[in-house]
Amino acid sequence: MITRKEAIEYGLSFPHTYVDAPFRDPNWQLIRVKESKKVFLWIYEKDGFVQLNVKVEPEWRDFWREVYPSVIPGYHQNKKHWNTIILDGTIPVKEIKRMITESYELITDSPTKRIYEAVKRIPKGHVATYGQVAAMAGNPKMSRAVGNALHKNPDLETIPCFRVVNSKGELAEAFVFGGEGEQAKRLEEDGVEVKNGKVDLKQYGISLTTNLLD
């Protein structure tokens, strides 16, 4: 059994979150994401039970409702995208936390975030093209967005954008992090051979049809 306090504490365990009570009613507490101010968890009491509203992927919406009778269409929200969890003790705590986690991930999802996650999956000793990263991030047509996102890379050591090259295997003319020659240096340290500012994609390029990115 999970309590209101425990639900709030779990919601606040995610990065950049805070509690809000915008309705001047202490019964309603919302957990928001700071930058966007979007809500991913609604907490309130109704019909004698603490209840939670969480966002859900449409393809998972009915699954949760069918498995647990205490998961119902979202109260006072879009029933296509939100579920209500009634905390009556019939749903395992780990499943409640899973639904809250999925709600947070849906609310915080963005093309930039998906791009960074895709770049993290490029194995050491390999490179990927902007187009491949775009495909890995869910939209093959956003190659330009990949370039923009990598230009603003907030964590070079965790998000290895030096492993991204253009469709011909060419490096950036002036790598934004460290200047000219830095991308080649990092690639060579990674085990990738660079010749005349270019990488052999047949030798070092990834293939989205292999298990390299699984």
Q: Is residue 115 located within the same domain as residue 95?
A: no
Give dist(CA 32, CA 37) in Å, integer: 5
Place of tokens 């994609």: 201
CATH number for 141: 1.10.10.10
What pLDDT is stored for residue 187 in this prediction?
96
Question: Domain containing 182: what range?
Answer: 111-204
Q: Is residue 132 located within the same domain as residue 194?
A: yes
Closest CA to 103 of 13, 40, 43, 59: 40
CATH number for 34: 3.90.1150.30
Q: Is residue 162 located within the same domain as residue 81?
A: no
Place of tokens 């390299």: 212
Contact 51, 45 (CB under 8 A): yes
Q: Is residue 15 in a domain?
A: yes
What pLDDT is stored for residue 24 in this prediction?
84
Closest CA to 200 of 130, 121, 115, 129: 129
- Strands 29-33, 39-46: pairing is antiparallel
Q: Is residue 87 located within the same domain as residue 116?
A: no
pLDDT in tens, the chain (214 residues): 789 999 999 999 999 999 999 888 999 999 999 988 999 999 999 999 999 999 998 888 999 999 999 999 999 999 999 999 999 999 999 999 999 999 998 898 888 888 999 999 999 999 999 999 999 988 888 898 899 889 888 888 899 999 999 999 999 877 878 888 999 999 999 999 999 999 999 999 998 754 444 4
By the 10 Å C-beta count (0-12 exposed, 13-18 middle, 19+ buried), 170 is classed as middle
Interhelix angle for 93-108 vs 4-11, to 10°?
40
Q: Is residue 176 located within the same domain as residue 80?
A: no
Q: Is residue 210 in a domain?
A: no
What is the number of domains present in the chain? Answer: 2
What pLDDT is stored for residue 214 in this prediction?
43
Q: Is residue 101 located within the same domain as residue 191?
A: no
Q: Is residue 214 in a domain?
A: no
What pLDDT is stored for residue 209 in this prediction?
56
Please tell me the pTM assigned to this model: 0.60
Partners of 51 in the beta sheet? Answer: 44, 86
What are the structure tokens assigned to 176, written together?
């934004």
Q: Is residue 104 located within the same domain as residue 115?
A: no
What are the structure tokens assigned to 182, written together?
């830095």
Give dist(CA 97, CA 1) in Å, integer: 12
What are the structure tokens assigned to 175, written together?
């790598």
Q: Is residue 145 located within the same domain as residue 49?
A: no
